[in-house]
Structure 1
Amino acid sequence: MLRIVGRTAWRFGKPFIAIALFLAVWEIAPRVGLVDQIFLPPFSTVAQAFVELVRNGQMWEHVSASLGRSLSGFALAVVIGVPVGIAIAWFRPVADFLGPILELFRNTAALALLPVFILILGIGETSKVALVVYAGFFPIMLNTITGVRTADPLLVKSAVSLGLSPIKLYWKVILPSAVPSIFTGLRMGASGAILVLIAAEMVGARAGLGYLITAAQQNFQIPDMYAGIIAIALVGLIFNGVLVTVERRLSRWRNTSSR
């Protein structure tokens, strides 16, 4: 019994041990002079700045601004990217028609188009949300294409032989089998969209985590700058955790069918 408890504790504790070691190095390195405390304060100093930003409400103001932009842009990317990916994967004329233009834009970095988005859509919220949509669209679309095209052909043939209509074929067979690949695209799109949004907020914004980091750096409030970076990491972890949880719930049929 103790051995089982020990193994379980070790399995769940390993990631926290690595994080604790990293934070310990961060705390000790500036204090013993390995790095300059002015440019890399100890973790305890950054944690105090983080708590103070939370206490005075500034952190929530910036986090909520970034979350609003990222969630709305990411939702639009999902609504557009998944259907387009399914259409390209399943209908050859659609792939032939959209393939060249999508390939052209896929190889154009989102941040390279930031000035274009600002010129066309203005420096307000619309340009930032549109940039998030652009950054998230391509990973979602490409992984949806991969998931649909790699659906088990035996399952598809069996479903067709049973007389399933095209709509039911998509809903009952193709989409469930493509869920892991689609969610890989969602996770990649979410991380890329957050990074692009933070960069956009550094250029033209009055609120958001990107703005917080830039303003803190310009005002030489270095602990606040690192607190903003930690907030970005936490937001990314939460995003990823939510997507992983949803994927597991939608993929439960795989575990039951493999027993």
Structure 2
Amino acid sequence: MSSDVDVKVTAAVVPRPVVAERPATTPPGAVRRLAYRVPGLLLAAVTKSVAVAVLLGLWEGAPRFGLVDSTFLPPFSEVARAWWELAVNGQLATNLQASLVRSLSGFALAVAIAVPLGLLIGWYRPVADLLSPLLEVFRNTAALALLPVFVLILGIGETSKISIVLYACLWPILLNTISAVRNVDPTLLRLARSMNLSAPRLFQKVILPASVPVVFTGIRLAGAVSILVLVAAEMVGAKAGLGYLVNASQFNFAIPQMYAGIITISAVGVLFNQLLVVLERRFTAWRVPEGN
């Protein structure tokens, strides 16, 4: 009896060997997939950068080798230096902020008005019949042609600039939204109706998801329009903004600063478009990529 107790006490007292925990490691499959993807990503980045690099090289070399007059097209290095000087002294930030506030305000108002209105016109035929004549009249009137009217009625302040951006952005979003609703796959509608879905549920579950890709196409078009129209409006009457910067630089014959403003406008347009692409992918994550 005592030997059994001694054995149990000894077993309880003897410490158990400590097994070191294995550090968390990346699965080999993930490493292999990453190794396969890296060359493709690098190749894609290089491919997309080649055209830009060639353009900048031509821009730098053509004035220096006398192919174009450097007075009217300075080398890219001088433009980059002028852009940096504008950024350091605060002029670029001030004008950029003014343009972004106007552009985003008009664009956001256009989205808030055009998307619900387009869904309503596309879904309810009586509303479309009522508003179609007005839509045909106004959508064929260029926004810049109405710029003097906006200035005369609303003045040369912020209201007229935001309003002209709103007017210009309204039509791409509205027309694409109407087209998206009217071109929903009829098979989807028949299947949804066979399940006895109510009109609000049919609209929520079928019409809206099917319309999102085409609606975002209109939103992306409106994003580009908001920048272009605003720059033109700022050239007519403004005391700040990227359009004002380009126009003032031209009048003062500060050509490098003028090109710096143009490059900034292009960069803003590209970044705005990429942001809208990311949002589109977020809202259309349910779509199956082409080829799958």
TM-score (norm 1): 0.95
Give the partner amino acid of 1:124: G
Shift of 1:183: 0.7
Give the partner amino acid of 1:117: F
Structure 2 unaligned blocks of 5 or more: 1-31
Moved more, 6-15 or 175-184: 6-15
* Cα 1:4/1:81, change in 2 over 3 Å: closer
Q: Does 1:172 align with 2:223?
A: no
Q: How does 1:207-246 map to 2 (within 5 A)?
A: 207-246=240-279
Q: Does 1:146 align with 2:179?
A: yes
Shift of 1:149: 1.2
Distance in 2 between the 1:118 and 1:143 partners? 28
Q: Does 1:70 align with 2:103?
A: yes
Distance in 2 between the 1:153 and 1:170 partners? 13
Distance in 1 between the 2:160 and 2:242 partners? 17
Match of 2:129 among 96, 118, 131: 96
Moved more, 227-236 or 10-19: 10-19
Residues 76-109 of structure 1: per-residue CA shift (max 9 Å, x gap) = 1001111111111111111111111111111111
Q: Does 1:108 align with 2:141?
A: yes
Distance in 2 between the 1:155 and 1:184 partners? 21
Partner of 1:254, secondary structure, is coil
Q: Which residue of 2 aligns with 1:121?
A: 154
Distance in 1 between the 2:103 and 2:198 partners? 37
Shift of 1:12: 2.6
Distance in 1 between the 2:38 and 2:111 partners? 41
Distance in 1 between the 2:266 and 2:42 partners? 25
Q: Which residue of 2 aligns with 1:20?
A: 53
Shift of 1:110: 0.4
Give the partner amino acid of 2:143: A
Distance in 2 between the 1:186 and 1:178 partners? 12
Distance in 1 between the 2:38 and 2:276 partners? 29
Q: Which residue of 2 aligns with 1:136?
A: 169
Q: Which residue of 2 aligns with 1:160?
A: 193
* Cα 1:3/1:246, change in 2 over 3 Å: closer
Distance in 2 between the 1:3 and 1:147 partners? 39
Distance in 1 between the 2:148 and 2:216 partners? 30
Q: Percent identity?
A: 58
Q: Which has the larger radius of gyration?
A: 2
Aligned residue-pair number: 259
Distance in 2 between the 1:29 and 1:18 partners? 16
Partner of 1:255, secondary structure, is coil
Q: Which residue of 2 aligns with 1:205?
A: 238
Residues 195-227 of structure 1: per-residue CA shift (max 9 Å, x gap) = 011000001100000000000000011001000
Distance in 2 between the 1:131 and 1:167 partners? 34
Shift of 1:11: 2.0
Give the partner amino acid of 1:85: G
Structure 1 unaligned blocks of 5 or more: none
Shift of 1:46: 0.3
Distance in 1 between the 2:263 and 2:236 partners? 20
Give the partner amino acid of 1:94: V
Distance in 2 between the 1:132 and 1:100 partners? 22
Q: Does 1:56 align with 2:70?
A: no
| RMSD (Å), alpha carbons | 1.8
Give the partner amino acid of 1:221: A
